[in-house]
Amino acid sequence: MRCPFCGHVDSKVLDSRPTDDGAVIRRRRECMACESRFTTYEKLEASPFVVIKKDGRREAWSPDKILRGLITASEKRPVELVALECLVSEVERELRSRYEREVPSKEIGELVMERLRNVDQVAYVRFASVYRQFQDVRRFKEELERLIEGGAGSSGAP
């Protein structure tokens, strides 16, 4: 593993441990040249996953793209980044168990919203407004009413 400080290619592993969900191994390393310490993450390389967009286009699965959308929806909300990362991991795990190589984008959005609703209701409404492309206030109000009637998840209070 190349040292991020000096670029030397030899390092030794000081500590290895699985992350909370067990899907990733966290390794603490030390550079053999400059003795700087750094952390790496080892993850099983999964088979390519393709997302089928609404218009029929296909693009590579990108968990980072979903995470960026969740971060935007959660801006100025008391939602920890680790909770959003776990949400993305859960969605990916479920999609890979249901689909072999291709997944409709609609399925991804619905799974994300289902989980986000239980994390933070304000972030959920923000995400839903972009995902569902509300065209008017009436559609937005209908979604809020469904959320209030369901009563699930956090109150969204700061």
pLDDT in tens, 132-153: 777 777 887 887 888 788 754 4
| Closest C-alpha to 66, from 122, 134, 115, 139 | 115
What φ, ψ does residue 20 adopt, rounded to 5°? -55, -40
Confidence band (pLDDT; 50, 70, 90) for 158?
very low
Delimit the domains of the chain by residue range.
11-43, 50-150
Sign, CA torsion 146/151/154/158: positive
81 contacts 57 by C-beta, under 8 angstroms: no
d(CA 13, CA 29): 4
pLDDT in tens, 41-58: 888 776 788 999 999 999
pLDDT in tens, 77-121: 999 999 999 999 999 999 989 998 999 999 999 999 999 999 999
Q: What is the pLDDT at residue 155?
A: 41
